[in-house]
Amino acid sequence: MSATKETIGVMLKVFAIASLFWLAYQLTQGILQILLAPENIPNVFYVGFAGNLLPYLLFFWCIQRVQAERAAIAATLEPVVAGVLAWVWFFGQTLNLMQIVGGFLIVVAITWMQFQTAKETQS
């Protein structure tokens, strides 16, 4: 249980530091007024929770249940999944040839790493 509390504590510190840097950057660029509009406040919190906090909590939860190496390998699929979801759900998003090749290389590398790990555990 203490490992979970420690993990969450570290994660919250990282988010706090990242937020301070992002706020400092935004102050130099001018804060987007659309983010401060009352009707968009729930959306801002949703993006913060669903796009940042929830995935990290799930990642740390998974690390406690599987080997960290396997969790890290699975996490490298995130750009590929994000690209495919953007293409499927948000019809205005397109992938160029370089992005498709990059996604393919990521999947090939992850597959190769999985086979290498399986061979090492069998020997």
pTM across the whole model: 0.51
| pLDDT of residue 1 exceeding 50 | no
Q: Are 103 and 80 in contact (CB under 8 A)?
A: yes
Instruction: Report domain extents, the chain.
Output: 1-65, 68-123
pLDDT of residue 123: 67
pLDDT tens for 29-47 read 877 777 778 898 888 888 8
Tens-place pLDDT, residues 3-21 = 567 777 887 888 889 888 9
pLDDT (tens digit per residue) in 44-71: 888 888 887 888 788 777 777 887 677 7
Q: Which two tokens stand for residue 23?
A: 């706020």
Cβ pair 76, 106 in contact under 8 A: yes
